[in-house]
Structure 1
Amino acid sequence: MVCILLLVLLSTAEAQNHTVYLIPGQGADARLYKNLVVDSSYQVKHIGYYTPEKGWDMKTFARELAKQIDTTETYSIIGVSLGGMLATEMADFLQPEKVIVISSAKCRLEFPGRYRFQKVVPVHRIVPGFTIKLGARILQPIVEPDRNKDKETFKSMLNSKDPKFLKRTTTMIITWRRKSYNKDIVHIHGDLDKTLPPRFVNFDYLVEDGSHMMVLTRGDLISELVNHILKE
């Protein structure tokens, strides 16, 4: 009985030294994860965004953001949308226990055709940042109506974004060159994701009635999946 108790205590102590880092999407911040409940045996920390320097690509931004991660402790990384792309890059030069990407793409081959078109016809380079922000405000509720379940949070997160951040990260996404990825990455995707349609994505878990916004709108189910994956 004592041995079992010691094993349980040791297991709990190990988990408490395990930090889960959360990276939000392009138009979001830490509030995106407000309905994600990670098992209390893990520590949770949020990766904070800032406006990248002009000319930075996805890999460079990932390396800069990774400075917020304490690599002396055991850790895992979870990223949504743009955050998932950055987490995929981090998997190349960090050694996390787990990398979980949600509502995202792990390489440009998982992008729909419109992304590839914008790379050939780079309209994003001449469109001002405030226009990109305005376009996101208009298109977000149309393309992903599920956001209306918590539209005030989505509106507030997007409104708080620096137009320069949106323009530079849009360029990062459209010009992303990655064609392969670490096969240990676990991918959760929604079957109703209109931003990154699942037919292009090599996912591990497909969430029924899951949209691009499901981390916030289906927090209970995503929490269950995430905790299962972390403990595998």
Structure 2
Amino acid sequence: MKKIPIYFVPGLAAGPEIFEHLELDPEKYSFHYLKWIRPLALEEDIDNYACRMSDEVKEKNPVLVGVSFGGIMVQEMAKFVNPRKVIIISSVKNQEELPKKFKLAKFTKVYKFFPTKVISNFEEYAQYFLGKSLKKKAEIYKKYLSVRGEKYLKWSIYNVLKWKQINPVKNIVHIHGTKDNVFPLKHIKDAIEIKGGTHIMILTKAKKISKIIDEVLTC
């Protein structure tokens, strides 16, 4: 039996390491982990960027899996690769699912002042926004926040806020945590809920997420 190809796209500033806790059968699936590429310019449209990302997809009718901003990206990539299924985790399906604070940030253009250096120099700032007692956790998060180019971060934040999708793409499955503080569940429709799941549940609820992915792809 031919394996089902799955292409994974991580969240904003994250690398493929965020998927390392998933438990999917390698006899049934082939795994392909995509990395963020450098934007051509801060003004590069998300569809052009997604087209370039899609060049890395070599298999026909793949499954696309994206987390957070990666969930937005796989929906854009779906326009170029004809996937059999799009699975988004801790993400949104259209602009209506974005919380009001995101819409306000877009309107006021406050995103232009977002301190991208906080992520670029994560270890240096960790003690200030996590506290000294939690600085050890920063070492853990450092492993996953591996994409720190300031140009990429500014481009990503801008494109999350200005994303214009109205209707969800075809064959989409949405997995969302009930305690997601970035994209609160109250704004989300038609999602498979994971009780107690936060925005980083790809790390903390990987076993449950794996089960849902497997059921979705084999039922």
Quote the sequence identity (%): 27
Deviations 1:30-50 (A, max 9, x none): 110010122221100001112
Cα distance in 1 for residues equivalent to 2:85 and 2:138: 31
Report the CA distance shift for 1:44/1:150 in structure 2 as closer, same or farther (over 3 A): farther
1:210 aligns with 2:197: yes
Show the counterpart of 2:48. Answer: 60
1:31 aligns with 2:17: yes
1:1-232 equivalences under 5 Å are 13-14=1-2, 16=3, 18-40=4-26, 41-54=28-41, 55-71=43-59, 73-127=60-114, 129-130=116-117, 133=120, 151-158=138-145, 160-232=147-219
Report the CA distance shift for 1:63/1:34 in structure 2 as closer, same or farther (over 3 A): same
Structure 1: gaps spanning 5 or more residues: 1-12
Deviations 1:151-185 (A, max 9, x none): 53322332542122111110111111111222420
Please identify the structure whose Cα radius of gyration is greater.
1
Shift of residue 106, structure 1, vs aligned partner: 1.4
Cα distance in 1 for residues equivalent to 2:146 and 2:87: 27
TM-score, normalised by the number of residues in structure 1: 0.82
Shift of residue 217, structure 1, vs aligned partner: 1.1
Q: How many residues align?
A: 212
On the 8 A contact 1:56/1:172 being kept in 2, the answer is: no
Cα distance in 2 for residues equivalent to 1:150 and 1:222: 23
Report the CA distance shift for 1:165/1:231 in structure 2 as closer, same or farther (over 3 A): same
Cα distance in 2 for residues equivalent to 1:116 and 1:135: 26
Which secondary structure state, in structure 2, belongs to the residue aligned with residue 21 of structure 1?
strand
Cα distance in 2 for residues equivalent to 1:23 and 1:127: 23
TM-score, normalised by the number of residues in structure 2: 0.87
